Amino acid sequence: MSPTVLPKEKENIACVIYGANNMFLEPRPILKPETDEVQINIRATGICGSDLHYHFEGRLGARILDPAVPMVLGHESSGVVTEVGATSTADDTFKVGDRVVLEPAKSCGQCHCCQIQRYNICPPMKYSSTVQQGKNDGTLRRSICYPTHLLHKMPDTMTFEEGALIEPLAVAMHAVARSPVTQGSSVVVYGAGTIGLLVAASAYAQGATKVTIMDINTSRLAFASEYLPDVQTIQLPLKTTSDEEEDLFTWAQQHTMGIKDGDCDVVFDCTGVESCVVLSFFMVKSGGSVVLVGLGKTKIALPVDVIATKEINVIGSYRYANIHAKAIATVASGKIRLLPLVSHRFALEETPAAFETLRKGGDGVLKVQIGDF
Ligand SMILES: [Zn+2]
Ligand SMILES: [Zn+2]
């Protein structure tokens, strides 16, 4: 049996929440891998916006955490295999020392979505660090036993920080794969956060020649220009007046930021903000596509006459399916850079400070990661 390589002085602690603002770093036993599992020493985990909501609000929209049922946070992780369990199939070729990215989507494998390889929309999906079919413990800990079919090997050249960013990159690449972006496309992305930046980078990788990122925050836009030198950036105006339906539509009509019908093939909304979602339909070209990536308000009045008469395709995009291998290969090829997105690194023992840093936000805060780097 392979010995664990977890350093003796490092406990297997896990970041556990009991409802809102009730986080504990709890020691957990280091378990032996079962059949078709390996034991992994987690080396890097990024904090997702959803982790932030669960920690500070005890919920993510309608998904409410029962304080009596604690949940381990984290689903953007990479690590190294420390022990291998028995295997039931010849496909499991993991060995101690393999560096891996963990895919957090545990789908049922049986339903109509799983049957057609769209497991991201599997109704009984269990996704790490979310309340979905009950609570699902995540990966923000030092040691975990994990099913081998949800692991993806990292090339030697890839760092653990990059490995932990494959999950958000998969979200972005899936959104672009759902869209008609092709060679020469003109694209607008709302939101210059991690997902918006990665959607823009993925659009370039897919052949888009003109990409514009819009955000209300100038420092985020300045970073976007640094990260993607060819990108055009536009500061969106704050919609401060009443959100009354007619008023918002009139506002959107008047704020297409100089982008005329025909200029923009595809809009990706990575904000979920009502004014951005509405604006998408006025900005995109006739016959174009709007991809909804960001989740915010659940009810938004849409200009259905504009959608119908411009024949706009409205495309939902949720998480990802079958894209990790492509994401890893794209990063390994140098087409998409991930390391510039990591703005802060914390040790596992400093997890509360890491969450506080992301909550405060402000200039220069982008992807906050936790781990043994
Ligand atoms: Zn996430
Ligand atoms: Zn399923």
Q: Is the confidence at residue 1, as pLDDT, over 70?
A: no
User: In this structure, which ligand is nearest to the CA of 167?
Assistant: 1
76 alpha carbon to ligand 1 midpoint, in Å? 7
Question: How far does residue 122's CA lie from ligand 2's centre (Å)?
Answer: 4
pLDDT given for residue 30 in this prediction: 94
- Alpha-carbon distances of 329 from 15, 98, 221, rounded to whole Å: 31, 17, 27
Q: State the ligand closest to the CA atom of 112.
A: 2
Give the mean pLDDT of 366-371: 97
Ligand showing the shortest atom-to-Cα distance for residue 47: 1
Q: 350 C-alpha vs ligand 2 centroid, how far in Å?
A: 36
Average pLDDT over all residues of the chain: 93
CA–centroid distance, 115 to ligand 2, in Å, is: 7
Tally of helices (H runs) and strands (E runs) in the chain = 11, 20
Q: How confident is the model at residue 23 (pLDDT cuts 50, 70, 90)?
A: very high
Query: Measured in angstroms, how far is the CA atom of residue 334 from the centroid of ligand 2?
Result: 34
Q: What is the 245 CA–ligand 1 centroid distance (Å)? A: 31
Question: What does the pLDDT read at residue 242?
Answer: 60
Q: Is 80 exceeded by the pLDDT of residue 365?
A: yes
Say whether pLDDT at 79 is over 60: yes
Ligand nearest to the CA of 113: 2
From the CA of 125, the nearest ligand is: 2
Compute, in angstroms, the gap from residue 48 CA to the centroid of ligand 1. Answer: 5
CA of 104 to the centre of ligand 1 (A): 9
pLDDT digits (tens, 9 = 90+) for 103-155: 999 999 999 999 999 999 999 999 999 998 889 999 999 999 999 999 999 99
The tally of CA atoms less than 13 A away on the side-chain side of residue 1 is 9
Ligand 1 center from residue 51 Cα (angstroms) = 7
Instruction: With a cut of 80, say whether residue 18 has pLDDT above it.
Output: yes
| Ion ligand 1 — residues with CB < 5 Å | 48
pLDDT band at 361 (very low <50, low <70, confident <90, very high): very high
241 CA to centre of ligand 1 in angstroms:
31
The CA 107 to ligand 2 mean position distance, Å, reads 5
Query: Has residue 6 got a pLDDT over 70?
Result: no
How far apart CA 65 and CA 297 sit, in angstroms, is: 19
pLDDT grade for 98, boundaries at 50, 70 and 90: very high
Ligand with minimal distance to 74 CA: 1
Residue 315: pLDDT above 80?
Answer: yes
Of 93 and 155, the one with more pLDDT: 155
Position 2 scores a pLDDT of: 40
What separation in Å is there between the alpha carbon of 120 and the centre of ligand 1?
Answer: 13
Q: Say how many Å lie between the CA of residue 274 and the centre of ligand 2.
A: 31
In the chain, the N- to C-terminal Cα span, in Å, equals: 26
Q: Mean pLDDT lowest for which of 16-20, 84-88, 228-232?
A: 84-88
Res. 336 pLDDT band, cuts 50 70 90: very high
| Number of neighbours of residue 278 by Cβ within 10 angstroms | 24
Q: Is the pLDDT reported for residue 7 higher than 90?
A: no
Residues 265, 284: Cα–Cα separation, whole Å? 6
- Among all bound ligands, the one having the nearest atom to the CA of 115 is 2
Percent of the chain predicted with pLDDT > 70: 95
Considering the domain 13-165+338-371, what is its CATH architecture?
A: Alpha-Beta Complex (3.90)
Looking at domain 172-316, its CATH superfamily turns out to be NAD(P)-binding Rossmann-like Domain (3.40.50.720)
Arithmetic mean of pLDDT, 236-243: 70
Distances (CA, A) of 35 to 49, 97, 168, 190: 33, 18, 29, 44
Which residues are CB-contacts of 255 (< 8 A; sequence separation ≥ 6)?
A: 236, 237, 279, 282
pLDDT at 323 over 90: yes
Distance from residue 98's CA to the centre of ligand 2 (Å): 29
Supply the ipTM of this predicted assembly: 0.97
Q: Give 247-280 pLDDT, tens digit per residue.
A: 889 989 988 999 999 999 999 999 999 999 999 9
Any idea which ligand is nearest the CA of 119? 2
Separation CA 226–CA 231 (nearest Å) = 9
The ranges assigned to domains in the chain are 13-165+338-371, 172-316
Ligand lying closest to the C-alpha of residue 118: 2
pLDDT of residue 245: 59
Q: Say how many CA atoms lie within 13 Å of 258 toward its Cβ.
A: 8
Ligand closest to 128 (CA) is 1
Query: Where are the extended beta strands (E) located within the chain?
Result: 13-17, 23-27, 37-46, 59-60, 63-64, 71-72, 76-84, 99-102, 105-106, 126-127, 143-147, 151-153, 186-190, 210-215, 232-235, 266-269, 289-292, 313-316, 342-346, 367-371
Q: Which residue pairs from 354-359 have beta carbons closer than 8 angstroms and sit at least 24 positions apart in sequence?
A: 354/47, 355/23, 355/47, 355/51, 355/52, 355/55, 355/56, 358/47, 358/52, 359/52, 359/56
Please give the pLDDT value at position 290: 98
Identify which ligand lies nearest to the alpha carbon of 166. Answer: 1
d(CA 188, CA 199): 10
